[in-house]
Every structure is written in structure tokens, then in C-alpha cells.
Amino acid sequence: MKVIICGAGQVGVQIARHLSYEKNDITVVDNNPELISHLSNTLDISGVTGCASHPDILDAAGARDSDMIIATTRSDEVNMVICQVSHSVFSIPRKVARIRSQSYLEINYSDLYRGEHLPIDVIISPEREVAEAAVSRLETPSAFEIETFLGGKAQLIGISLDANCPVINTPLRQLSELFSDLNAIVLGIRRNRKLFVPKSEDQLFAGDQVYVFTTVTDRQRTLEIFGKDMKRGNRIVIVGGGNVGLNVAKTLEQKNRDKVHCKLIEKDRKRAEIVADSLERTVILNGDGLDLSLLEEANIEQADAMLAVTDDDKTNLLTCTRAKSSGCPLAISLVNDSSLNSLLQPMGIDAYINPRATTVSSILRHIRHGRVRAVYSVGDAEAEMIEAQVLGTSPLAGKILKDINWPEGVLVGAVMKENGIIIPRSDTVFLEGDIITVFYRTKDIEKVEKLLEVGINFF
């Protein structure tokens, strides 16, 4: 498929990397010639320098015979114009735009994006996607990363193991035998900053970060086996009143009503007033989240969780550290720079949210065709989890798991059949129409696509 990606920022680059792995014809457009040169030299893509909303630049990028355009520049308005020009001049069938401003996303103005107005097929709001991810972290406080699959019935959960974990130094094969009735499987292990897909003889050690796939009904028991619990906090302190912080507070108010007591700290006075007018029960405090006296005013020592979501990574990390030192049991940080992830554990920060990974996963989920129902980018695009339907033409259809030549580094997380979800065993038979989830390193995506007999496509 031929795809044009407009904007060579972090999100655009990750999308280009993912799609180039799949041997698609990718062209990236950006104003910065150095970025374009670097991408052209490191990825199997083409690059065009210039303003992506200009028809001549899009023409040079191959818009006349492109199947899809993804607008991820820093400007909402430029992204909108890109989609309009792509539709009106080049008739590109599928148009995806990243839109940040909440004003453009108000439900009162939803008619704006109808075909006869602004022809945008898929709108991605990073702030709303990140806010949803933040709420998920709060709902499962013992996980540093979490994503939902199979219609909300199963989850991929990232868990950090400490010396008190009951199952450390135990081979995974033995875990499967001990808990044979448990719908859970370890799919990935990050050790010494490297993520790998484990084999049955591998063991878990203190300090490991593991990715466990489990059904929602078995989630609590799974966490307990790994020495964690499901206790949800009701007293939340949010630092940062931007779009992410505001959306988190709104979601908490809507979902939990009177059960959650939320306080939000915002440094900018005018923004704090806007946030206060937008929320009903959340207490707004104007000031610096790093100010210890303000944290004390927010009763941080009695809070169940701290969520730092300002637009500055270092502020978020330091705020979380200060909250932990004040006695807050759970600190979650927004981290844009993935090179800082290795600092989280030493700093005592419990979980993080990577806006880039969240946005990339959302875009990938929307641009893959119906047979591929969901895609999640794990960590710093180290691995992926894909949810797909088994086709009748797939090498899997009608086969027993043990008889399939699985590529190394690929594991099936679960199979959803007509009668429910199962964690596959050696004698599991894959049938046409089954929905499966597969975990694999990003570099192995071609092997997985061949196995499923599905390629990237669009509606």
C-alpha cells in the first residue's frame, strides 16, 4: 500500500518505521531537510522536503496514486488542510489526522468532519488517548503498562517484579503446571533494559519487568500470583492542568462520581481558572507541583495516587519522586522522552505513560483492515501485540498449536472462540473465525503477517 506521512516528528517517524517494516511504499513529508535526509538513510522510505499542505509538495510525494495520507504535523490547521487538499485535488481514499485542540473535538461541532465539510476519516486526539491510558493505569495501580484486547475481556499488563514476588526463580513451564486453570501467560520479559520473548525454560528474577496477558476475570488472581494487588485508590492528585490532566479529571468524575476525590494542581493562573470552570467536583490548586508546601496542601501524604502530566518530563519525574518521598504509595508519570524510562525504577516511580507509543498504537489500530482488529506498540516500540481474525486461508486454520512452525520470538497470548477466551495450550486447535492475540518483537512483524495471511490495509 502507498502511504504518505506528513510530519517527521516522533509520532510520524514511528508510524513510518512500523509501516516500512511491512514493506509498504512510504513517503514522509516535512519542512526539515535534515530530518528527511536522516529518515531516508535509515529507513526504507522516500522523503520530500516542503510544506505538506501545499498541493505541489503532495504531488511530488506521490499523492495522485496514494492509498492513504496520515497528517501528524504539529499544527491542527495544517493537518486539516492536508486532508482537504488530499481529498479535493488527489482523491486519496483514506485520510487520518492528528488533532490536538479540544475546541475542534467538541461534540457540538462533530458535523465539521462530515464528508461534505472537512473530509477526515479518522481523527486521533493524543491528549484524549493519553488520558484514557492514564485512567487505565489508575484502575490497575500495580501495573506499569496496560492495554485492553478482545472487546475489553483481556489485557496485556506490565508488572515490575521485586524480591517479594512469590514466583521468582521459577521456570515458566512450572508456572503453567502450578496454575493450569489460570488464564494467564507471560509473553515478554525486560531484563537489563532489553525486552525478549521468553521460552518455557526461562525463569523470572527480581528486577524483571514482565508482560502478562490475562483475561479480565482472572486479572486479580494473576496479579496476586506475582505479588501484586488490585486495590484502587480513591484519593487522586493530578499535577498538570493541560488537556491530558483535564481529560483525566473529567473521566474520573464521570466514571466514579462520588467515589473518587480528586485534586488538580496547575501552575498557570488563567489555565487553572479554565480547568476549574470545566470540572464539577475536582479541587483546583494554583501553583507549582514541585512546591512541597502546595503538595502538603493537597494532602499528598494521604493520597492514594499521584499522576504527573505536565508538558515537561523532568518536572513530572521530580514531582513523582517528591510525592513518593512524602508517602504517596503510587506515582505515575507522563514521559515523552523514552530515554528517561530507565530512570523510573531507580527513582521509585511506579508507572509511566508514553504519549508517543499511545498515539502510534491508536493510529495503527485505525489504519489496519478489519481482519487485524487491534495493534498495541509495547514500550518504546520494542514489541507489538496484534489482535487478528484467523482466515480460512491462513496457515493457522485447522492446525494444532504444537504442529505449527512458530517463528522464534512469537507467542500467542489468547484465542477467543465462540464459547469464550482461552490461553492456548499445545493441543489448541485454531479454527477459521477465531480471534487471536499475538505478541512479537517489532522486527519480526513480517513473520507474523505471513503467519496470519493478512497485510496492512484500509477500509
The predicted model scores a pTM of 0.77
Residue 325 lies in a domain: yes
Which amino acid appears at position 296 of this protein? E
User: Of 81, 100, 124, which marks where a domain is finished?
Assistant: 124
pLDDT at 458: 42
Q: Are residues 278 and 314 in the same domain?
A: yes
Domain count, the chain: 3
Q: Are residues 14 and 112 in the same domain?
A: yes
User: Of 301, 334, 353, which marks where a domain is finished?
Assistant: 353
pLDDT at 456: 45
Structural domain including 86 reads 2-124
User: Of 322, 353, 384, which marks where a domain is finished?
Assistant: 353
CB of 357 closer than 8 Å to CB of 8: no
pLDDT at 33: 94
CB of 332 closer than 8 Å to CB of 305: yes
Residue 94 lies in a domain: yes
As beta bridge partners, residue 188 has 211
CB of 85 closer than 8 Å to CB of 59: no
Which uninterrupted H or E stretch holds 315? Answer: helix 313-325
Q: What is the CATH number of the domain that holds 114?
A: 3.40.50.720
Residue 164 lies in a domain: no
Q: Return the closest-CA partner of residue 160 out of 439, 347, 385, 354.
A: 347
Q: Are residues 6 and 117 in the same domain?
A: yes
As beta bridge partners, residue 438 has 386, 412
Residue 223 lies in a domain: no
Q: Return the closest-CA partner of residue 151 out of 232, 216, 221, 220.
A: 216
pLDDT at 71: 96
- Chain Cα centroid distance, residue 367: 15
Q: Are residues 291 and 317 in the same domain?
A: yes
Long-range contacts of 189-193 (CB under 8 A, 24+ apart): 190/379, 190/382, 193/342
Q: Are residues 15 and 65 in the same domain?
A: yes
Residue 230 lies in a domain: no
What backbone phi and psi angles, to 5 degrees, belong to 387? -115, 120
Residue 276 lies in a domain: yes
Residue 50 lies in a domain: yes
Alpha helices in 335-408 (DSSP H): 344-347, 355-367
- Give all strands (DSSP E) within 257-353, no chain letters: 261-266, 283-286, 305-308, 331-334, 351-353
CB of 3 closer than 8 Å to CB of 68: yes
Q: Are residues 54 and 106 in the same domain?
A: yes
Q: Are residues 316 and 387 in the same domain?
A: no
> Which residues lie below 8 Å from residue 291, measured CB to CB, with a gap of 6+?
none
> What does DSSP assign to residue 104?
G
Q: Are residues 415 and 342 in the same domain?
A: no
Please, what are the averages of pLDDT over each run of 10 residues along the chain (459 residues)? 92 84 85 93 92 96 95 95 95 93 82 80 87 84 88 92 90 88 93 91 93 94 88 88 92 78 95 94 95 94 94 94 93 87 83 83 69 77 86 86 88 92 92 93 80 53
Beta-strand relationship, 435-441 and 383-389: antiparallel
Residue 216 lies in a domain: no
Cα distance between residue 251 and residue 132, in whole Å: 8
pLDDT at 115: 64
pLDDT at 117: 83
Cα distance between residue 267 and residue 394, in whole Å: 55
